[in-house]
Amino acid sequence: MREVTLGLMNGKRGIIFGVANDRSLAWHIAERLHAEGAELAFTHLPTPKMERRVRLLAEPLGATCIVPCDVTDDGQIRAAFQETNRQIGPLDFLVHSVAFASRAALSNPYYKTTRADFQQAMDISVYSLVALCQNGLRYLNEGASILTLTYLGAVKMIPGYNVMGVCKAALESSVRYLAAELGRERNIRVNAISAGPVQTLSAAGVSDFEKILRHYPNKAPLHRNIRPGEVGSSALYLLSDLASAVTGEIHYVDCGYNIVGW
């Protein structure tokens, strides 16, 4: 399907947290935003390997602001926003595509999750969004838009998703509270996309993921899995002025799978 560009993000600037490689949903969102005229900044985990990986993707889009950031470190978050503001100015949107749970926490039954693994997963996958709002609010324009990524495992038990499902439930609740507070204070919108299964780096940690990929086309009303670019298009809508009255929403991009009860 050929994407039509309308310049919906012309003159808008934003920052993308969470690009790991060219399969990342954050990357597909970035490509779509760039095609519509957005000026983008990117963060990367503070290692030479991750910096190289993100630069190879981001620089062809014209991105010059590529900054290190470990979202478990408030000092690094503040520094990332300060440097982004210095290089490209105030931001119109923020994309949070960050999640992590240890292999043990994903492979073991949920009731066997250790306290340390639970705290780590919640810190990186959920609190990081709160931390980005805390430290980045002063650098966001009035009426800016914030977007995060979730999954059906937040509201349904998905085999193998385990502690990450609990994290996504907390993330979706955070979206609603943040939307209420930031909308009142700064007219800032906060939404989430709940995407169907896509082969990404994070998905590789979910046991039996291939079974999930095979299962969706049998049950989803559209009888197929999603294309990653479809997440990018929905993100474009939510981050653009087209969605100026939309906030606190969990927007499903899963070929309708979430509506099926049989």
Active-site positions read 151, 161
Q: Where do the H-state alpha helices sit in the chain?
A: 25-35, 48-58, 74-88, 103-107, 115-122, 128-136, 163-186, 209-219, 228-239
Query: Which of 129, 122, 232 lies closest to 179, judged by CA?
Result: 129
Q: Which two tokens stand for residue 132?
A: 């980005």
Query: Which of 160, 85, 165, 94 lies closest to 130, judged by CA?
Result: 94
How far apart are alpha carbons 247 and 160 in whole angstroms? 30
Query: Which of 11, 77, 65, 71 lies closest to 38, judged by CA?
Result: 11
Q: Strand, coil or helix: what is 30?
A: helix
Q: Which two tokens stand for residue 220?
A: 């989803």
CA distances 151 to 80, 110, 123, 160, Å, are 27, 17, 17, 13
Sheet of strand 250-253, all strands in order from the earlier edge strand to the far edge:
65-68, 39-44, 13-17, 91-96, 140-150, 189-195, 250-253
Q: Find tokens 């907390």 and name the residue.
A: 170
DSSP lists the bridge partners of residue 145 as: 93, 189
